[in-house]
Amino acid sequence: MHHPTPTAYAVPFTIDRSLAPRRYDLVNTGDEPVDGLTLTHLGNGYCPPLAVRRLDPGRALTIAVFGAAADDTGIVVVRWRRPDRSEYLWRMSLVADGRAV
């Protein structure tokens, strides 16, 4: 049985790293709200786990990392659901300068 390939879906977020390594702003730049947004930090320092019920287009969520040095790196795993209830994961780099990928 042939299953159609789903259309590619761009990650609906941009990251403002201007206040890194202590603060990162995750902005929903997509055209639809995301639901059940959770963020889990892996790396140096401490970032409290976050859970947000809904993040509408144009809205931002601040990620605070405590105890991280300027040259520390880490990641945040971002999990969310689209309006059709499909689930997505994105691994976001927490470097402060042009090393971000």
For 31-57, what is each residue's pLDDT tens digit? Answer: 999 999 999 988 888 888 889 999 999
Structure tokens at 20: 């890194």
Say what the pLDDT of residue 83 is: 94
Tell me the CA distances in angstroms from 77 to 1, 12, 89, one per residue in order. 34, 14, 7
Task: Tell me the H-state helices in the chain.
Answer: none
State the pairing for strand pair 50-55/87-93: unpaired
Say what the pLDDT of residue 49 is: 84
- Indicate the Cα dihedral angle 47, 30, 60, 11, nearest 10°: 10
**pTM, entire model:** 0.81
